[in-house]
Amino acid sequence: MKTALPSSNHYAAAKTGGRRACPCSGVARAPQPPVSGSGAGAGPVPARPIRRLALLVTAAAVTVLACGKSEEAKPPRPPVPVTVGRAERAATPLDLAAVGTVEAKSTVDVRSRIGGEVMRVHFREGDEVRRGAVLFSIDPRPYQTALAQAQARLARDRVLADNAARQAARYAELVAKDFVTKEQYDAAEAEARSQKASLAADEATVADARLQLAYATIRAPLDARAGALIVHAGNNVKANDETMVVLHQMAPIDVRFPVPQQHLGEVRRRAAAGTLAVLVRDSDGLERTGSLTFVDNAIDPATGTILLKATIDNRDRGLWPGELVNVALRLGDEPAVVAPESAVQSGQSGDFVFVVKDDQTVESRPVKVGRNVGELVVIAEGLEGGETVVTDGQLRLVPGAKVTIKNAGEPGAAPAPASATQGSAP
């Protein structure tokens, strides 16, 4: 009697206590039923179980190869090249930021004080004019004639006044000798005083005629820039009627800006201790320094702000009336931790920076950002000062990543505030 051999599944099950083991993971699998029965009368192994056995062996071999590959060590990631800067503790400026409007220190609407025809315009639109420079000439001939008439009347009345004075003097001698009556003397004395008064009136008329003639030449009242010409040569003007041109004083120039009313007390206290500096940055990014010169006497109830003004030298004429500028009212300095603005990143949990540790790996550190100080920002929380922070290359970083510093040793790797001095924590 022939006895059928047990299948390979029986041997596998026997070695694993009834379960088949994965060659790589050691996890036992459920036993498979035997391919053919055992005992008396068993025949040869059929072809179908043989194919199934071949498939199982192939799958086991593939599994072993896959597990072997997964257990191979992965190559380390290369260091990420980054640019760094330094977080420093420094005395930083305490500024009140606002948006201001440039306005001329003085604005003059030029008008004629007399009526007449505009004979000539002595400037071009947009010219810088000096104080006393001739702007317009009004036809002077009527005023020259009026002056001549007034001078003639003055000359006539001067003669009459002299004659009346001499007549009164003679009557004074005659009345003393009783050659004339007292009434005749009084009449001569009154005539002399009347002629003297007429002479004074004539002198005033001559002075007024000279003044009217002087008004025929219109001069610039201050150093300023001329605007668009409104009245051209050949037009007739009336006295104090129409603006002929507008002059703006360009240097010095004012900048008006509002600040919230809650800062008024601090501004007044610091202004009482000394002049407060005001930094003005125009649309080209150029910065100019002036001083606070005006605090309004009332708070605007509609906006809750107080109006301030600063005076800027503006010798280069860089600021223009009506221009919007960024204003920073400097109240003083205070110690704070500052870092490059480019180091601060924003995430779902808020702002953070990558800090480079001594082993050249990075950690993500959440921070609380305060005000801007030029190209730096004040870090209210998260940094203590002295840390090296990543300023460029953050997109390729994850916490724990190794880095290589591209700007190591360069001065730009550790910027300091342009307007601050290094200090220590109080």
Looking at residue 88, which CATH number applies to its domain?
2.40.420.20
List all residues 6 or more positions away from 101 whose beta carbon is below 8 Å from its beta carbon: 255, 256, 257, 322, 323, 324, 325
CB atoms within 10 A of CB 11: 10
175 or 292, higher pLDDT: 292
Q: How far apart are the first and last CA of the chain?
A: 103
Do both 86 and 100 map to the same domain?
A: no
Q: In the listed set 333, 352, 387, which residue is the last one of a domain according to the structure?
A: 333
In a domain, 367, yes or no: yes
Full domain range(s) for residue 100: 96-105+248-333
414 or 337, higher pLDDT: 337
Do both 285 and 406 map to the same domain?
A: no
Do both 167 and 182 map to the same domain?
A: yes
Are β-strands 345-347 and 376-381 bridged in parallel, bridged antiparallel, or unpaired? unpaired
Helical ranges in 71-140 per DSSP H: none
Asked whether the predicted pLDDT for residue 36 surpasses 60, the reply is: no
Longest distance between any two alpha carbons in the chain, whole Å:
200
Q: Mapped to the 3 state alphabet, what secondary structure does 194-243 carry?
A: HHHHHHHHHHHHHHHHHHHHHHCEEECCCCEEECCCCCCCCCEECCCCCE
Do both 213 and 264 map to the same domain?
A: no
Do both 338 and 321 map to the same domain?
A: no
Based on the structure, what is the number of domains in the chain? 4
Do both 238 and 118 map to the same domain?
A: yes
Contact 271, 293 (CB under 8 A): no
Whole-angstrom distance, CA of residue 49 vs CA of residue 193: 156
Instruction: Provide the CATH number for the domain around residue 275.
Output: 2.40.30.170
Do both 219 and 270 map to the same domain?
A: no
Do both 127 and 151 map to the same domain?
A: yes
pLDDT on residue 44 = 53
Instruction: Provide the CATH number for the domain around residue 159.
Output: 2.40.50.100
- What strands, in cross-sheet order, belong to the sheet with 134-138? 217-219, 134-138, 116-121, 236-237
Do both 100 and 148 map to the same domain?
A: no
Do both 305 and 357 map to the same domain?
A: no
Mean pLDDT score of the chain? 84
List all residues 6 or more positions away from 360 whose beta carbon is below 8 Å from its beta carbon: 79, 402, 403, 404, 405
- If you average pLDDT over residues 46-70, what whole number do you get? 58
pLDDT on residue 65 = 54
The model's pLDDT over 211-232, given as tens digits with 9 standing for 90+, comes to 999 999 999 999 999 999 999 9
**Residue in 100, 105, 96 with CA at minimum distance from that of residue 325:** 100
Q: If pLDDT is split at 50, 70 and 90, which confidence band does 372 have?
A: confident
400 token code pair? 């724990």
Whole-angstrom distance, CA of residue 57 vs CA of residue 138: 118
Do both 33 and 43 map to the same domain?
A: yes
363 token code pair? 């950690």
Look at residue 191 and give its three-state secondary structure: helix
User: Taking the complete model, does pTM exceed 0.85, yes or no?
Assistant: no
Q: In the listed set 212, 246, 280, which residue is the last one of a domain according to the structure?
A: 246
List all residues 6 or more positions away from 250 whose beta carbon is below 8 Å from its beta carbon: 104, 128, 224, 225, 314, 317, 321
Q: Among 1-10, 224-233, 287-296, 297-306, which is the least confidently predicted range?
A: 1-10
The model's pLDDT over 379-406, given as tens digits with 9 standing for 90+, comes to 999 999 999 999 999 999 999 999 999 8
Q: What are phi and psi of 317, to 5 degrees?
A: 60, 30
- If you average pLDDT over residues 39-43, what whole number do you get? 44
**Residue in 285, 214, 221, 291 with CA at minimum distance from that of residue 252:** 291
pLDDT on residue 75 = 73
**Residue in 278, 281, 292 with CA at minimum distance from that of residue 95:** 278
Do both 133 and 237 map to the same domain?
A: yes
The sign of the CA dihedral 256, 257, 263, 264 is positive
pLDDT on residue 416 = 38
pLDDT on residue 373 = 84
